[in-house]
């Protein structure tokens, strides 16, 4: 009898978890631009701010609504936009708001008001926040493999000029976001301040090289595979630039430890994807990859690459994802992690933050854990 009861409870729980529900989001009032189209951007549509499938429709009077059908039970995060990130909802005085959270375990209907929009408030000039340890190597560093130029940043340990020591290097994508609030569109990581503190505590200093993303070319440079929506993948050329042009330059100009055991590569979102690919292609150059919320959804082929990945070296993989990102983020990361674990000789750490969202502040928070893990192995 007890076994039957347990089995019944299990089947009921399974049925609930597999159920599909209907969610209605209703906007009852908007502070300004009341006649503009309103969209929902959330972890269920990869935070697309202008997704026609998620545009609200008139719902009687001045109200607008959107019905999301076949939603699995779970936690969803979203915001309202008027079609772009610079027209996202804010507080009544223009401050950013936290993601709206919706718990779904049955049919839901929720009402909301929108207090303000980002573009209603002029941007306050951002401060230059990079520490004295950070400098710009070049504003137009040549990328012959892509026939473009790029701004390159470098962080040197505090004692670099006073010592003859050689240092490990971390190459990081989206250099705009690493050191300086002035150049970071959605908040900086504070890598320089973090390392100033950590290197003092751990006595494990390193050099960090930041490579700016290419703006409109970011989605192709950081993707090794062709994509119907974004175009031909340029990831192979981008990684070749890192290996054949940038790293030799850094090694020739600075005191670096050159081997893969002392060379890491890291990035978030699309930057996380290309960082993984860099290790798969050049394990004799990059010994560690840190992928913060990697955009595996856009490149499922990466799993095939991981399946075939075989190297006598022992690369390290730090995989991080947040539960409040897209619904595929954690499962995709776990799938890739399990493929790598089957190799049995690679060092892998997987981290899932139950509150993690797809934004810089969460990656900034996680960087310290990655650095400790990497330097204390």
Residue 337's pLDDT is what?
97
The highest-confidence range among 4-18, 40-54, 99-113, 250-264, by mean pLDDT, is 250-264
Which pLDDT score is estimated for 15?
A: 47
Tokens matching residue 30: 């908007």
Residue 11 has pLDDT above 60, yes or no: no
- Specify which residues 100 forms β-bridges with: 78
Q: How does pLDDT run across 325-344, given as a tens digit for each residue? A: 988 999 999 999 999 999 88
pLDDT for position 18: 58
CA 283 – CA 310 distance, rounded (Å): 9
Give the pLDDT confidence score for residue 46 in this predicted structure: 83
Is the pLDDT confidence value at 140 over 90? yes
Nearest to 336 by CA among 364, 370, 295: 295
pLDDT at 16: 45
Check residue 61 and give its pLDDT: 86
pLDDT band at 6 (very low <50, low <70, confident <90, very high): very low
pLDDT reading at 319 higher than 80: yes
pLDDT 10s digits, 349-362? 999 999 999 999 99
Per-residue confidence (pLDDT) for residue 7, from 0 to 100: 45
Is residue 79 scored above 70 in pLDDT? yes
Range with the lowest mean pLDDT among 9-23, 58-72, 160-174, 295-309?
Answer: 9-23
- pLDDT average, residue stretch 143-161: 97
Residue with tokens 């310290």, as numbered in its chain: 368
The answer on pLDDT for 2 being more than 60 is no
pLDDT value of residue 93: 87
Predicted pLDDT of residue 172:
98
Question: Is the model's pLDDT at 3 over the cut of 80?
Answer: no
Among candidate residues 372, 258, 282, 261, the one with its CA nearest the CA of residue 318: 372
Would you call 286 exposed, middle or buried from its count of C-beta atoms within 10 A (0-12, 13-18, 19+)? buried
Q: What is the mean pLDDT of the chain?
A: 92
Mean predicted confidence (pLDDT) in 16-26: 80
Parallel, antiparallel, or unpaired for β 148-155 and 134-143? antiparallel
pTM across the whole model: 0.76
Whether 87 has a pLDDT exceeding 50, the answer reads yes
Res 13 pLDDT > 70: no
User: Which among 199, 203, 207 is positioned nearest to 156, based on CA atoms?
Assistant: 207
Q: Domains of the chain (ranges plus CATH)?
A: 19-120 (2.60.40.10), 134-376 (3.40.50.1820)
Give the strand pairing for 148-155 and 57-58.
unpaired
Burial (Cβ within 10 Å: 0-12, 13-18, ≥19) of residue 366: buried
Q: How confident is the model at residue 199 (pLDDT cuts 50, 70, 90)?
A: confident
Q: Look at 309 and 122; give whichever has higher pLDDT.
A: 309
The whole-angstrom separation of Cα 290 and Cα 172 is 9
Task: Give the residue-averaged pLDDT of 198-211.
Answer: 95
**What integer pLDDT is reported at residue 28 of this predicted model?**
95
Q: What is the pLDDT of residue 4?
A: 46
pLDDT at 17: 47
């Amino acid at each position: 009898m007890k076994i039957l009861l347990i089995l019944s409870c299990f089947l009921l729980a399974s049925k609930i978890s597999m159920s599909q529900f209907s969610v209605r989001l209703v906007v009852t009032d908007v502070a300004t631009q009341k006649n503009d189209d309103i969209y929902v951007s959330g972890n269920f549509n990869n935070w697309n701010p202008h997704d026609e499938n998620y545009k609200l429709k008139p719902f009687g009077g001045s109200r607008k609504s959107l019905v999301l059908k076949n939603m699995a039970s779970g936690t969803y995060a979203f915001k309202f936009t008027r079609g772009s990130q610079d027209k996202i909802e804010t507080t009544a005085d223009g401050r950013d708001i936290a993601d709206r959270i919706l718990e779904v375990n049955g049919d839901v209907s929720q009402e909301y008001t929108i207090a303000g929009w980002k573009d209603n408030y002029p941007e306050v000039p951002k401060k230059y926040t990079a520490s004295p340890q950070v400098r710009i190597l070049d504003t137009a560093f040549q990328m012959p493999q892509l026939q473009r130029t790029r701004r390159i940043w470098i962080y040197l340990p505090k004692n670099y000029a006073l010592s003859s020591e050689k240092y490990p290097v971390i190459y990081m994508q989206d250099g705009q976001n690493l050191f300086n609030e002035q150049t970071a569109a959605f908040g900086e990581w504070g890598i320089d301040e973090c390392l100033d503190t950590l290197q003092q505590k751990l006595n494990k200093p390193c050099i960090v090289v930041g490579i700016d993303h290419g703006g409109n070319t970011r989605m192709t440079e950081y993707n090794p595979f062709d994509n119907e929506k974004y175009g031909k993948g340029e990831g192979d050329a981008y990684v070749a630039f890192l290996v054949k042009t940038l790293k030799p330059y850094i090694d020739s100009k600075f005191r670096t430890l050159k081997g893969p055991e002392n060379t890491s590569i890291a990035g978030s979102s699309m930057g996380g994807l290309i960082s993984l690919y860099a290790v798969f292609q050049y394990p004799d150059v990059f010994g560690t990859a840190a992928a913060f919320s990697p955009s595996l959804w856009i490149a499922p082929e990466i799993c095939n690459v991981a399946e075939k990945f075989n190297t006598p070296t022992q690369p390290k993989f730090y995989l991080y994802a947040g539960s409040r990102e897209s619904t595929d983020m954690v499962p995709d990361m776990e799938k890739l992690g399990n493929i790598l674990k089957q190799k049995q000789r690679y060092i892998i750490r997987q981290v899932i933050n139950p509150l993690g969202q797809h934004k810089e502040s969460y990656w900034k928070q996680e960087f310290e854990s990655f650095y400790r893990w990497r330097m204390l192995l």
